[in-house]
């Protein structure tokens, strides 16, 4: 899954995605259109502070095949 620049495309509103910000922090967050802000459980960012986002990858299947 490639990283996407917000100026190229935004995720669906309130959909959790993985973001990276101008300081290199990577965290799960979502974009709220009417607030024009990215939010997570503990943080919020102005749109200019988020440099890239991507869909959350599927969990790795670590079960051994019989």
Q: For residue 64, how far is the Cα from the chain centroid?
A: 30
- Which region holds residue 39: left if phi is over 0, alpha if psi is between -120 and 50, else beta? beta
pTM, two decimals, is: 0.80
Backbone angles phi, psi at 48, to 5 degrees: -70, -20
How much is the pLDDT for 65?
61
pLDDT, tens digit, 9 for 90 and up, residues 9-54: 999 999 999 999 999 999 999 999 999 999 998 888 888 999 999 9
């Amino acid at each position: 899954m490639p990283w996407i620049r917000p100026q190229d495309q935004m995720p669906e509103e309130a959909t959790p995605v993985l973001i990276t910000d101008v300081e290199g922090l990577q965290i799960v967050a979502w974009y709220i259109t009417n607030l024009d802000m990215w939010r997570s459980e503990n943080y919020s960012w102005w749109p200019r502070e988020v440099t890239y986002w991507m869909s959350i990858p599927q969990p790795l299947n670590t079960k051994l095949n019989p």
